[in-house]
Amino acid sequence: MKTTTTLLSLLLLFLFTTLQAQTKYFVDISSGDDLNTGLSWDQAFENLQTALNIISDHDTIWVAQGTYVPDKGTGTTNDLRTSSFYLYKGVNIYGGFAGSETSLDQRDWKTNLCILSGDLMHNDGSKFTNYDDNAYHVLRCANQSLIPTIDGFIVQGGNADTLTGQEFFGAGMYILNANPIVNNCTFQNNFALSSGAGMQNATANPTIQNCYFFNNQTSHGSGMHNNNASPQIISCTFEKNSSRYGAGMYNINNSQPDIIGCLFTNNHADLGDTTISTGGGGIYNNDSNAQITNCTFLSNSADRGGGINNSFSTPIIRNAVFLGNLAETLGGGLYNGSSNANIANCSFSGNRAFFDGGAIYNHTSDIILTNSIIWNNNDQSGTGTALASIKNINSTPIITYCLIQNITTSVDGNIDGITLAGNSNYPDFIGELDPTTAPSTNGNLRVYLGSPLIDVGNDSANSTLTDPDGYNRINGTIDLGAYENPAANCPLELLLTNVYSPLKGTYEAVNEIELANGAWIPSLGVDLVLNAPEVILSPTTESELGVVFTVENAGCTP
């Protein structure tokens, strides 16, 4: 008993000593001094590098608003392009402080901007001009067994522009053999000669959440490049990145990223060289099996695969929206080359290819397509044709429980893909996009009540719990397409936001229906009925003359 008690006491003492050893440092470029202790806001360091150079395992650094460069601070050399902010020893770095907070939840990283910049000379111009003297990598995290965290920063001005060492990729952040946590960060205006202008992951499995990859440029994967890496990427946006391949993201060498709830919009796999064929405006998968869930591909462009280009890959794509994407040759929404993609509950509409496969182009690819809708896409054969829906070369897709314009018939759970708008099989999107205007961000592929896509899918084909709007993925029987119509069955509460405007038909809930700002009720020949014990109308709710709008307070039975 005495031995057990002694061992327990020693263990508790060790844990207490370890916890006591963890230190919080404060950094404030506007009021700090690198000769301070760094142990309070009043004694804050001036430069982030000063704090990073003295940390122990699992220490924490709070950083006040301002712009920080990696060549300034204790132990650094001015104007050295190899300068970087190194994440190591499991450090936890938080930005977004005004400089007086006492708890983490008081910070506001959206207002108190903390910028980590590779612009060592403070002379960057637009379109990556004056970048010759910038740092190769703004952030680095390499060969770390402990897991660091960085949260609440803007990372910009990295310039990985040389072919020596590791200095031609990962300009914003280079991660090698490490698994950091990256939250609430923006990676913008970074340039790399080869790949990963915003972020490069090599043999790494970071967790990246609520981050924004904007206006980065390189040859492969301007927003993010994954090489034998399997990051988890949650609720991130990839916008206006440009490259030759995978402008938003490029995955290669058996990478298996888990991409959840992300938006890929206005990314362009086109650097102005018409002699090189480009691919994957949103994502390029090369010998990689990405899992893509609840993501939206909107107004992206490339030669092949405006939304996604798959090459020798077997991705799993669930609840994805492909809207307004453009391929200047093949596969406006999706291009599959020797890739047996597994696709369920996806919506393809308003996409365009100048040649073939407005929505999907398959070459030697036997894809599995379930619970999906392909409608109103365009290629050289016209709008809404069978070839504009899917073009197959040496490919035999397996299609079940789908509505595909001018392709599916009423077998294998499919809906007859007739074309007339007045027919009952018309999908009834809230906002249809003219595909000849692609790339475009217009359109809304949610459906009205009464759509033939509701409650006609195969529940076993999709195990995800929610759709992109966060509603239960199976609400009765699963719907076709990316979105589950929450009003088709009987939810406890129902919030009708502007994504469901204009409203028509009957909406019911057990407890409450709320019309959020922006909802409006048109005269479409279908009355609007809201049935719930409590109905809350927004002050901005509008309706046209002649609309019959009824509120019933009985509610429904789930």
Predicted structure pTM score:
0.94
pLDDT in tens, 167-206: 999 999 999 999 999 999 999 999 999 999 999 999 999 9
> Is residue 187 within 8 Å of residue 163, measured between CB atoms?
no
How far apart, in whole angstroms, are the C-alpha atoms of residue 156 and residue 512?
Answer: 45
DSSP state letters, 6-74 = HHHHHHHHHHHHHHHH--EEEE-TTT--TTS--SSSTT-BS-HHHHHTT--TT-EEEEESEEE-TT-ST
The pLDDT assigned to 498 comes to 81
Below-50 pLDDT ranges, the chain: 1-4, 13-20
Amino acid at 427: P
List, edge to edge, every strand of the sheet that includes 334-337. Answer: 85-86, 139-142, 173-176, 199-202, 224-227, 249-252, 283-286, 308-311, 334-337, 360-363, 390-393
The pLDDT assigned to 17 comes to 44
The pLDDT assigned to 159 comes to 98
> Is residue 286 within 8 Å of residue 304, measured between CB atoms?
no
